[in-house]
């Protein structure tokens, strides 16, 4: 049981508490007073239903008279019972919070029904009303108040349904976006009150990420709507201005609340401001990255976009993204069989120029260019396109190489010069095989697609040969133009590389001189171009023999030539060139310029009016049957010959009324005389020639060694000069030979088919 000591201690405590409450008042009157004050205080603080309040006589809510409550508060305070009062108050609040919850639910139900932020707005106002009505008076001190606020907010947050976050976001977005029409008059401060309410209710802190995302989305939308497809001028500066005008005022409410002056506000905004600025950069950068392919197509009209991209990339680390995106769109839109080589080259050159603006050291370019270059290397006509472009043979297409660019020698990849005082290390994202190439010289870059420039020089020779052989007596001034071209190319490719071209040009002038001389001795209608066989690309040979008067003309000319140059013999290439003819028929005269084969055929008809195709072919030596048909159809189109019956041709001394079929055909063809480009064996033909050599070797080894497996053939072919095929290529070749019945294979052993 309790001891005396305990008993006396309890008694002392009791006395102390009693005194505190009783305030030394006589009897228990103090106690009575306190109990009355307690009742008034709790009544005053009691969280009431503001929608359904019982009013007292003065029209105020019952028991809410601060004048009455104030002395009561001070008495409670005096008795040091405030903590108990607070506890009691908070407990009451907990019990009555359902009132607010009901209200919230009503609003949110309506909101969820039609997703209208108009429901959120009054909800906030209403909540503010609740908050203010329940708020304890200042007299109870800041501790009391802040406990209340914290408690209120905590309960509020738990009461708000998940859909509120969504609605709140929409509300914020509405507050943020200015009315569409009158940007100028939009005053961000009209919503200041709402923001303040948010702040009081603790919504800003709670939903900070939502508010930020509203800001981000706002920026994104603006950037996308303003900048998509707008590549003409740099947009970044404009966006920054927009940001400081439109977004910053809004941010002030959110992020600089409570700042007393501008300086303070600025420092508070710094962090979030740079985040938003970053977001602008990132959005713009992503946008341009998506658009990069088209931007490059539009170059140089898309300069602004490139400048933006450059600035953005400095801020945002999206270089890898850019490379990936561009490579992907190149793969999809450029490097496929449907794209013209010329187009690919143009896009490549544009890519070079564009990426040099974005990234002067060239790392991005290197990474993007690699697949393009690999693809171009596989295209058979890449060299031809480049060379044709170089000598201005392109019709219509833009020149790949900028006219204004100074003509300079090709650059060979150099070793790095470490003694160079301007030397800079390679950029950090450069791969191990990265090589800087000096900016500016597009041609060097193009030529470097291939390992050596020899291929280009060879192609140049072929092209030049073609162009020179097309020159006739009438447009001999074109020789001068070609000479100029060659001079320019000499600067690029070097004197030695173009020596052959030089000889070709000299042959042209020499031909003219020799022709002049020969003509002076004995006039002839033949004006040959005399070329030095060794210096010209191999011309397709032909076994064609010119019949009749042509043969006579050739022989006469050759005779005169031999007199003039006894140490040389003239070997005719009768299938090249053009013949100017005047056909005298019974009822009409026809004047045409035709290729030699056509001329040869019509010459044959001078003696005999009806020929079969086979006879004709035989009469001019061996010519391709299809070429013969083509030549004959030229005359059919001219109405000079008629095919009747098939493969038999008859001369029409008198013009026939063209039958309908012929007319239609002529309309379709609508080609008077097609001036064929002289057939010069190009790379493919040369390859076939080479393969013919290898075949001789294969034939030789199989003749003598009887039967060989493929790998033996491959290694034996090392005896053939310049053999560089892979065993797979050889396998294909042998397979082709087998199909032609030249060889047979059994168990992987090849032998000749005898």
Partner 1 sequence: MEQLTSSIAPPRSSPKSSAPSSTQQGAGSVAKRLSNELMTLMMSSSPGISAFPKHDGNLFEWVGTIEGPSETIYAGLTFKISISFPPNYPYVAPTIKFDTPCYHPNVDISGGAICLDILQDKWSAVYSVQTILLSLQSLLGEPNNDSPLNSDAASLWDEPAVFKTQLMKHYRPVSDSA
- Is there binding between residue 741 and partner 1 (CB under 8 A)? no
Q: Which of 343, 716 has the CB closer to partner 1? A: 716
Closest CB 621 distance from partner 1, rounded Å: 21
- Is there binding between residue 703 and partner 1 (CB under 8 A)? yes
- Is there binding between residue 749 and partner 1 (CB under 8 A)? no
Q: Which of 87, 706 has the CB closer to partner 1? A: 706
Q: Which of 349, 720 has the CB closer to partner 1? A: 720
- Cα distances from 334 to residues 98, 347, 357, 364, 430, in angstroms, run 66, 8, 21, 18, 25
- Is there binding between residue 726 and partner 1 (CB under 8 A)? no
Burial class of residue 739, CB neighbours in 10 A (0-12, 13-18, 19+): exposed
- Is there binding between residue 689 and partner 1 (CB under 8 A)? no
Q: Which of 700, 729, 735, 749 binds partner 1 (CB under 8 A)?
A: 700
Q: How far apart are CA 748 and CA 541, in angstroms?
A: 37
SS3 at position 319: helix
Q: How far apart are CA 120 and CA 108, in angstroms?
A: 8
**Dihedral angle, C-alpha 354, 357, 359, 364, nearest 10 °:** 10
- Is there binding between residue 712 and partner 1 (CB under 8 A)? yes
Q: Which of 280, 713 has the CB closer to partner 1? A: 713
Q: Which of 165, 717 has the CB closer to partner 1? A: 717
- Cα distances from 406 to residues 440, 443, 495, in angstroms, run 9, 11, 18
Contact 224, 282 (CB under 8 A): no
Q: Which stretch binds partner 1 (CB under 8 A): 65-73, 190-198, 481-489, 692-700?
A: 692-700
Identify residues 435-474 at the interface with partner 1 (CB under 8 A).
none
Closest CB 596 distance from partner 1, rounded Å: 30
Pull the structure tokens for residue 436: 């800087």
Q: Which stretch binds partner 1 (CB under 8 A): 28-36, 207-215, 574-582, 698-706?
A: 698-706
The beta-carbon contacts of 367-370 under 8 Å, at least 24 apart in sequence, are 367/323, 367/327, 367/431, 368/323, 368/326, 368/327, 368/330
Identify residues 363-422 at the interface with partner 1 (CB under 8 A).
none
- Is there binding between residue 696 and partner 1 (CB under 8 A)? yes
Assign 3-class secondary structure to 709-747: EHHHHHHHHHHCCCCCCCHHHHHHHHHHHHHCCCEEEEC
Q: Which stretch binds partner 1 (CB under 8 A): 35-43, 99-107, 243-251, 695-703?
A: 695-703
Q: Which of 669, 705 has the CB closer to partner 1? A: 705
Give the sign of the dihedral formed by CA 337, CA 343, CA 348, CA 354.
negative
Q: Which of 216, 695 has the CB closer to partner 1? A: 695
Sheet holding 610-612, edge to edge: 610-612, 648-651, 641-643
Q: Which of 189, 541 has the CB closer to partner 1? A: 541
- Is there binding between residue 122 and partner 1 (CB under 8 A)? no
SS3 at position 583: strand
Q: Which of 664, 696 has the CB closer to partner 1? A: 696
> Under rule CB under 8 A, how many of the chain's residues touch partner 1?
18
Q: What is the CA radius of gyration of the chain?
A: 48
- Is there binding between residue 706 and partner 1 (CB under 8 A)? yes
Q: Which of 701, 734, 737, 743 binds partner 1 (CB under 8 A)?
A: 701
- Is there binding between residue 718 and partner 1 (CB under 8 A)? yes
Q: Which of 12, 705 has the CB closer to partner 1? A: 705
Closest CB 706 distance from partner 1, rounded Å: 5
Closest CB 709 distance from partner 1, rounded Å: 12
Identify residues 557-576 at the interface with partner 1 (CB under 8 A).
none
Q: Which of 739, 754 has the CB closer to partner 1? A: 754
Closest CB 500 distance from partner 1, rounded Å: 24
Q: Which of 631, 701 has the CB closer to partner 1? A: 701
- Is there binding between residue 78 and partner 1 (CB under 8 A)? no
- Is there binding between residue 697 and partner 1 (CB under 8 A)? yes
Closest CB 683 distance from partner 1, rounded Å: 21
Pull the structure tokens for residue 23: 């305030």
> Phi then psi for 668, rounded to 5 degrees?
-65, -50
Q: Which of 55, 693 has the CB closer to partner 1? A: 693
- Is there binding between residue 721 and partner 1 (CB under 8 A)? yes
Find how far residue 452's CA is from the centre of its chain: 29
Assign 3-class secondary structure to 681-710: CCHHHHHHHHHHHHHHHHHHHHHHHCEEEH
Closest CB 714 distance from partner 1, rounded Å: 9
- Is there binding between residue 337 and partner 1 (CB under 8 A)? no
Residues 637-676, mask of contacts with partner 1 (x by CB under 8 A): ----------------------------------------
- Is there binding between residue 737 and partner 1 (CB under 8 A)? no
Partner residues linked to 55 by β-bridges: 61
Closest CB 710 distance from partner 1, rounded Å: 13
- Cα distances from 47 to residues 151, 182, 527, 751, in angstroms, run 13, 45, 118, 109
Pull the structure tokens for residue 71: 């002395």
Q: What angle do CA 491, 497, 503 make, to 5 degrees?
A: 100
Neighbours of 166 (CB within 10 A): 16
Length of the chain: 754
SS3 at position 643: strand
Q: What angle do CA 611, 615, 620 make, to 5 degrees?
A: 110
Q: Which stretch binds partner 1 (CB under 8 A): 222-230, 354-362, 455-463, 700-708?
A: 700-708
Q: Which of 224, 693 has the CB closer to partner 1? A: 693
Q: Which stretch binds partner 1 (CB under 8 A): 368-376, 510-518, 557-565, 703-711?
A: 703-711
- Is there binding between residue 19 and partner 1 (CB under 8 A)? no
- Write out the E strands in 163-226: none
DSSP letters, 428-475, are TT--TT-----TT-HHHHHHTTSS-SHHHHHHHHHHHHHHHHH--GGG
Partner residues linked to 708 by β-bridges: 750
Contact 288, 305 (CB under 8 A): yes
Pull the structure tokens for residue 652: 């029409």
Residues 477-516, mask of contacts with partner 1 (x by CB under 8 A): ----------------------------------------
Q: Which of 32, 693, 727, 749 binds partner 1 (CB under 8 A)?
A: 693
Closest CB 692 distance from partner 1, rounded Å: 10
- Is there binding between residue 704 and partner 1 (CB under 8 A)? yes
- Is there binding between residue 432 and partner 1 (CB under 8 A)? no
Q: Which stretch binds partner 1 (CB under 8 A): 176-184, 220-228, 408-416, 710-718?
A: 710-718
Q: Which stretch binds partner 1 (CB under 8 A): 99-107, 195-203, 414-422, 717-725?
A: 717-725
Closest CB 719 distance from partner 1, rounded Å: 6
Q: Which of 248, 303, 553, 716 binds partner 1 (CB under 8 A)?
A: 716
Q: Which of 720, 734, 737, 743 binds partner 1 (CB under 8 A)?
A: 720
Under 8 Å CB-to-CB from 527, ≥6 apart: which residues? 473, 515, 519
Q: Single out the residue of 330, 450, 332 nearest to residue 386, CA to CA.
A: 450
- Cα distances from 400 to residues 388, 405, 441, 486, 574, in angstroms, run 10, 11, 11, 18, 37
Contact 601, 592 (CB under 8 A): no
- Is there binding between residue 719 and partner 1 (CB under 8 A)? yes
Q: Which residues of this chain interact with partner 1, rule CB under 8 A?
A: 693, 696-697, 699-701, 703-707, 712, 715-716, 718-721
């Amino acid at each position: 049981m309790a001891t005396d000591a305990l008993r006396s201690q309890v008694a002392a405590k009791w006395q102390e508490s009693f005194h505190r409450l009783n305030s030394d008042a006589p009897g228990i009157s103090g106690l009575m007073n306190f109990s009355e004050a307690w009742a008034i205080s709790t009544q005053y603080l009691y969280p009431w239903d503001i929608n359904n309040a019982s009013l007292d006589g003065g029209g105020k809510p019952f028991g809410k008279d601060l004048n009455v409550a104030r002395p009561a508060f001070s008495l409670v305070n005096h008795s040091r019972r405030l903590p108990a009062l607070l506890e009691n108050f908070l407990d009451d609040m907990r019990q009555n919070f359902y009132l607010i919850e009901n209200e919230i639910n009503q609003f949110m139900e309506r909101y969820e029904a039609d997703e209208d932020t108009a429901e959120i707005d009054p909800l906030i106002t209403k909540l503010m009303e609740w908050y203010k009505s329940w708020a304890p008076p200042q007299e109870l001190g800041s501790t009391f108040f802040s406990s209340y606020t914290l408690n209120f907010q905590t309960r509020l947050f738990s009461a708000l349904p998940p859909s509120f976050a969504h609605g709140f976001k929409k509300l914020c977005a509405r507050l943020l976006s200015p009315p569409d029409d009158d940007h100028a008059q939009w005053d961000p401060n009209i919503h200041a009150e709402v923001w303040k309410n948010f702040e009081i209710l603790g919504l800003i802190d709670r939903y900070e990420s939502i508010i930020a995302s509203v800001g981000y989305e706002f920026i994104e939308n603006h950037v996308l709507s303003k900048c998509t497809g707008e590549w003409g001028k740099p947009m970044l500066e404009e966006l920054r201005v927009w940001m400081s005008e439109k977004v910053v005022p809004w941010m002030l409410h959110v992020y600089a609340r409570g700042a007393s002056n501008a300086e303070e506000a600025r420092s508070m905004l710094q962090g979030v401001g740079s985040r938003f600025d970053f977001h602008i950069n990132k959005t713009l950068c992503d946008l341009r990255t998506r658009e990069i392919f088209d931007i490059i197509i539009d170059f140089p009209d898309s300069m602004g976009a490139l400048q933006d991209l450059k600035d953005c990339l400095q801020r945002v680390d999206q270089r890898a993204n850019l490379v990936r995106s561009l490579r992907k769109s190149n793969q999809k839109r450029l490097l496929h069989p449907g794209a013209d080589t010329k187009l690919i080259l143009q896009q490549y050159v544009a890519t070079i120029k564009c990426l040099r603006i974005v990234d002067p050291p060239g790392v991005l370019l290197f990474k993007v260019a690699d697949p393009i270059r690999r693809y171009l290397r596989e295209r058979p006509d890449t060299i031809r396109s480049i060379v044709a472009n170089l000598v201005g043979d392109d019709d219509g297409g833009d020149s790949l190489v900028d006219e204004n660019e100074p003509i300079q020698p090709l650059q060979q990849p150099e070793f790095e010069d470490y003694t160079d005082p301007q030397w800079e290390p390679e950029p950090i994202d450069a791969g191990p095989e990265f090589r800087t190439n000096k900016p500016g010289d597009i041609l060097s870059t193009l030529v470097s697609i291939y390992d050596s420039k020899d291929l280009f020089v060879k192609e140049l020779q072929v092209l030049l040969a073609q162009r020179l052989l097309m020159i006739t007596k009438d447009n001999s001034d074109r020789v001068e133009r070609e000479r100029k071209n060659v001079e320019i190319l000499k600067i690029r490719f070097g004197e030695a590389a173009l020596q052959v071209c030089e000889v070709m040009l000299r042959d042209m002038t020499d031909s003219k001189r020799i022709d002049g001389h020969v003509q002076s001795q004995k006039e002839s209608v033949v004006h040959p171009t005399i070329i030095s066989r060794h210096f010209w690309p191999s011309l397709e040979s032909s076994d064609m023999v010119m019949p009749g008067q042509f043969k006579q003309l050739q022989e006469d000319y050759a005779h005169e030539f031999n007199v003039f140059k006894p140490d040389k013999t003239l070997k005719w290439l009768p299938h090249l060139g053009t013949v100017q003819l005047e056909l005298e028929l019974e009822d009409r005269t026809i004047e045409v310029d035709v290729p030699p084969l056509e001329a040869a055929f019509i010459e044959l008809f001078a003696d005999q009016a009806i020929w079969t195709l086979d006879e004709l072919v035989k009469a001019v030596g061996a010519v391709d049957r299809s070429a013969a048909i083509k030549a004959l159809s030229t005359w059919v189109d001219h109405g000079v010959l008629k095919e009747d019956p098939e493969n038999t041709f008859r001369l029409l001394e008198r013009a026939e009324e063209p039958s309908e079929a012929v007319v239609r055909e002529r309309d379709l063809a609508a080609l008077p005389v097609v001036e064929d480009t002289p057939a010069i064996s190009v790379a493919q033909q040369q390859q076939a020639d080479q393969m013919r050599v290898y075949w001789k070797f294969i034939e030789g080894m199989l003749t003598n060694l009887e039967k060989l497996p493929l790998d033996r053939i491959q290694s034996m072919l090392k005896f053939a000069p310049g053999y560089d095929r892979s065993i797979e290529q050889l396998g294909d070749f042998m397979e082709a030979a087998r199909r032609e019945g030249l060889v047979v294979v059994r168990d992987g052993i090849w032998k000749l088919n005898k």
